[in-house]
Amino acid sequence: MSNGHRPTVLVTGTSGFVGRRLVPLLARNGWVVRRAVRTPPQDANDVAIDTLGPTTDWREAVAGVDAVVHLAARVHHQKEEHAIELYHNVNVAGTLHLARSAIDAGVRNFVFVSTILVHGRSNNGRPPFREDDTLTPRGLYGMSKAAAEAGLSELVAGSGMKVTVVRPPMIYGAGAKGNFALLEKAVKRGVPLPLANIHNRRAFLSVENLTSFILHRLERPTQGFDVFLVADSEQVSTPQFIERLAHAAHTSPRLFWMPAPLLSTLLKASGRSEANDSLLGSLELDLSKLATSGWRPPLSLDDGLKLALSQ
């Protein structure tokens, strides 16, 4: 099934933030990378896939493949909250159809990047999230990923294909979008932020650590269906993260005090309820299972932030 002595891996979502870093890492570590692309193939190993859904023809893409890493997904956009069918077709039905195609082709290993949102946006007042918690997903994106995980668990039972589900928190790195990009811009511009008195605890994950873990699971698959919460070793408060980000940017953070209830009210009034959770709430993960996996994050939080701002 492999290309000579080099195993072959099909990767979806290769043009995305994580995919752009994963592909060269896999290639450097001896994998033949077959990219599923929507644009015309630029490499002999590329395979054109016009869409990701329940009717996608994956036969050419999975033929002769040892492993699949599924990164592609419809991510959350506030203006698409009504598009339940779109999220289902891409994130649930599309994922399960790819997995069935991989099983039919004899693929041995499947890595699915899910999201910590299958647990919810915060664990305020609760213990740190664990892999075996009952899932309480928030939003269409989180619900679609939880449904895909459940479908994969049923699908692969007795199939011989090993599945690893990765649930990352906020992923940061050079070129990251979303909240990290907003914080980076604010810190570099010296924008005062009313977060000095926030005493939460949150997990973060550098994109380099995420891709390192994916490589680890490709090389060391274990049981048939396995789930991991993956994060940097350190979990810190929002103001601590901003302070570390400012240090990496060679500047000083400008944090000031505002009563948390008032700040929460202002965020909700501005339509930023998600920012309310991600800035003020806690998102603490129990990483004890990750510690037994044989993998260690190659980058510390400080190293990850320095790398994110140096590129």
Q: Which two tokens stand for residue 119?
A: 């647990």
Residue 78's pLDDT is 54
111 — phi, psi (to 5°)? -110, 125
Residue 17 and residue 34 in contact, taking contact as beta carbons nearer than 8 Å: no
87 noted as active-site residue: no
Minimal CA–CA distance to 14: which of 36, 31, 44?
Answer: 36
Which of 31, 129, 141, 241 is the catalytic position? 141
Residue 47's pLDDT is 93
Residue 184's pLDDT is 95
Torsion, Cα 3 90 141 24, to 10 degrees, reads 20
DSSP 8-class letter at 171? E
CA distance 309 to 159: 43
Residue 207 and residue 232 in contact, taking contact as beta carbons nearer than 8 Å: no
pTM (predicted TM-score): 0.93
Q: Which segments within the chain are labelled E, that is strand?
A: 8-12, 32-37, 47-48, 67-70, 109-113, 162-167, 170-172, 204-206, 225-229
Q: List 47's β-bridge partners, or say none.
A: 36
Q: Is 303 exposed, middle or buried (0-12, 13-18, 19+ CB in 10 A)?
A: middle
Residue 51's pLDDT is 87
Q: Which residues contact 43 (CB under 8 A, 6 or more apart)?
A: 35
* Domains along the chain with CATH numbers: 8-173+203-231+286-295 (3.40.50.720), 178-199+237-280 (no CATH)
CA distance 120 to 172: 19
CA distance 306 to 172: 11
Amino acid code (one letter) for 37: V
Q: List 36's β-bridge partners, or say none.
A: 47
Residue 1's pLDDT is 42
Residue 3's pLDDT is 52
Sign of CA dihedral 286, 198, 189, 303: negative
Chunked in runs of 10, what are the mean pLDDT values of the chain (311 residues)?
Answer: 75 95 97 91 85 93 97 74 82 97 96 97 92 93 96 93 97 93 94 93 98 96 90 97 97 92 80 72 96 96 96 71
Three-class SS of 119-143: CCCCCCCCCCECCCCCCCCCHHHHH
- Using DSSP's 3-state secondary structure scheme, residue 92 falls into helix
CA distance 115 to 121: 10
Q: Which residues contact 181 (CB under 8 A, 6 or more apart)?
A: none
CA distance 62 to 36: 10
